[in-house]
Amino acid sequence: MVEWKTLKEVKAEGIAFTKVVYVLLGIYVWEICTTGGFELSVFLGKRKLAWPLVLFFFLCRYSMLFAFIGLIIFVNISTKALYTFTSVAGNLTILSASTSLMIRTMALWEWKRRAVLSMLALSFGKCAILICTIMTVKASWDDQAGTCMVIRTNHILLNLNHAYTMSFDFVILVMTLFVLRKRFRHEDLSGLLCRDGLVYFLVTSTCNTVPAVLAALNLNGEPAIL
């Protein structure tokens, strides 16, 4: 049986984690480069978008990039500040992605008070959890390893974060599908938005399930920082 908390195992997982981060950064940079025409059209005024969506779109897009950059620096030069920076950037990405979908759903509901208030209440709960998770990973300098080592994590709070994120996105998806089926049954836009929302939920749920399982198992500090 694998001894997950031994120094040898932690180092092996650290190497694997580093490789995954580099691969994901490469994929994300490629994504930004291939879709950069959208940002250019917005900056040049060729595409008109409502300012809240533009704000959260760019916040989500580049917070993710900063989170990856923080992780790259972290795997090479570990300091306590990088835990906080990467956590803040990652949580901003999660929050802004969900908020973008929430604003779109509010617009589809024609800003009806019940729909707006219910989604805002869920959003405030999400914000509170994300703020709490920023400092959930505790680290200290290890002279033997020559780096900062994770000494404590709150895997219960991390699990709550993943579960709440999936639940929040699911509620937004259901509300979107409901209003689209009710008001836009025969329009191509309805089908497009349905597919878009469903694909987003499936992708985010899959991505949240992996770290949620690792956090629940609480094997050691390496999986917990995900």
Q: Which tens digits make up the pLDDT trace of 137-170?
A: 666 656 555 555 566 666 677 778 878 888 888 8
Q: How many residues does the chain have?
A: 226
Under CATH, which number does the domain 7-224 receive?
A: 1.20.1070.10
Print the SS3 string covering 129-192. HHHHHCCCCEEEEECCCCEEEEEECCHHHHHHHHHHHHHHHHHHHHHHHHHHHHHCCCCHHHHH
CA 11/CA 16 separation, integer angstroms: 9
Question: Cβ neighbours of residue 106 under 8 Å, at least 6 residues apart?
Answer: 115, 116, 119
User: pLDDT tens digit string along 101-122?
Assistant: 888 888 888 888 888 898 899 8
8 A C-beta contact, residue 57 and residue 42: no
Closest CA to 95 of 57, 65, 39: 57
Quick check: 22 pLDDT over 80? Answer: yes
Its sign, for the CA torsion 196, 114, 96, 58, is: positive
Confidence band of 30 (pLDDT split at 50, 70, 90): very high
CA 61/CA 89 separation, integer angstroms: 10
pTM of the model: 0.75
CA 106/CA 115 separation, integer angstroms: 7
